[in-house]
Amino acid sequence: MSQPIEIDAPRNWRATCGRIGWAGLAIATTVVVVTVIEVFLAGVGLALGAGMSGEEAAGIMLRMWITLGVVAAIAVLSIIALRWGLLAASMPVLIVLYIFVNGRLTTAS
């Protein structure tokens, strides 16, 4: 009549780090895609004679630096937690961010 109650085993710390890393990588990838689109549209606007203000360019660069730090932290977290799939997924995002951070945005208008 009575069935034993199943108790979920607690997650180990590696599984928890993996879940946090994947969630952070999803958010960071979304930020990178939105920023790449924004920079592309700003480049098209610059080619058509418009421009962006210095504050807009500084805001984009700050966002890229912060996202670079987050993705670098995710890469370190994935190495510590031995989540090699997460590390492999974070490396292309880290490379794209590194390229964008080392570039300079023009504010010519």
Q: What is the pLDDT along the chain (109 residues), one digit of tens a residue?
A: 577 777 776 778 888 888 899 999 999 999 989 988 988 888 888 778 777 777 888 888 888 899 999 999 999 999 998 888 989 999 998 988 888 888 766 555 4
Which of 107, 100, 4 is CA-nearest to residue 55? 107
Count of domains forming the chain: 1
Encode 44-55: b = buried (16+ Cβ within 10 Å), e = exposed.
Answer: eebeeeeebeee
103: DSSP letter: S
pTM: 0.75
Structural domain of 27: 13-101
Residue 39 lies in a domain: yes
The helix/strand/coil state of 64 is helix
Which of 8, 24, 6 is CA-nearest to residue 68? 24
Residue 6 lies in a domain: no
Residue 83 lies in a domain: yes
Residue 40 lies in a domain: yes
How high is the pLDDT of residue 109? Answer: 47
Residue 107 lies in a domain: no
Contact 84, 14 (CB under 8 A): no
